[in-house]
């Protein structure tokens, strides 16, 4: 079973958000650089519990010209987009973002999957029956 959540912040820069999360959780923010979307960060306790933080823009090309576009047009290109994926209902990573609604807001309902089957979609708390199923 995995829990998925997407958060958005328009209050912080990407690097500041990664540093805040990293320092609060005592975990390394592993940076990466994609030709698709530039710098991003991964913060994980394990392969089954972590998040990725990226900016709300990606790069493209028209011929040799580099261009860029806003991924989620409801937010500014500099908004921070956080994808959380965890197998742990008590995940510290997930709790970090849920506990800071003044900085990070859920972009949409959270989802719980068993394999590829979505068994729950909604806002927290996730019902105990779903977590025990």
Name the residues that contact another protein, by CB under 8 A. Answer: 2, 4, 6, 30-40, 42, 47, 50-52, 54, 58-61, 64, 66, 69, 71-73, 83-85, 111, 113, 116, 118
Between 12 and 120, name the residue whose CB sits nearer to another protein. Answer: 120
Q: Which residue shows structure tokens 């820069």? A: 13
Smallest gap from residue 113 Cβ to another protein (A): 5
Task: Using the minimum distance from each CB to another protein, give the nearer residue, 2 or 102.
Answer: 2
Nearest approach, Cβ of residue 117 and another protein (Å): 9
Q: With respect to another protein, which residue has the nearer C-beta, 72 or 102?
A: 72
């Amino acid at each position: 079973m995995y829990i998925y959540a997407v958060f958005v912040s328009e209050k912080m820069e990407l690097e500041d958000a990664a540093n805040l999360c990293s320092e609060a959780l005592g975990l390394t923010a592993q940076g990466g650089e994609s030709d698709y979307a530039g710098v991003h960060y991964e913060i994980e306790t394990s392969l089954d519990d972590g998040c990725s933080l990226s900016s709300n823009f990606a790069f493209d090309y028209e011929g040799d010209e580099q261009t860029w576009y806003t991924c989620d047009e409801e937010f500014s290109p500099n908004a921070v987009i956080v994808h959380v994926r965890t197998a742990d209902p008590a995940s510290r990573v997930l709790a970090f973002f849920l506990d800071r609604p003044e900085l990070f807001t859920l972009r949409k309902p959270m989802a719980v999957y068993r394999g590829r089957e979505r068994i729950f979609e909604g806002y927290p708390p996730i019902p105990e029956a779903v977590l025990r199923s």
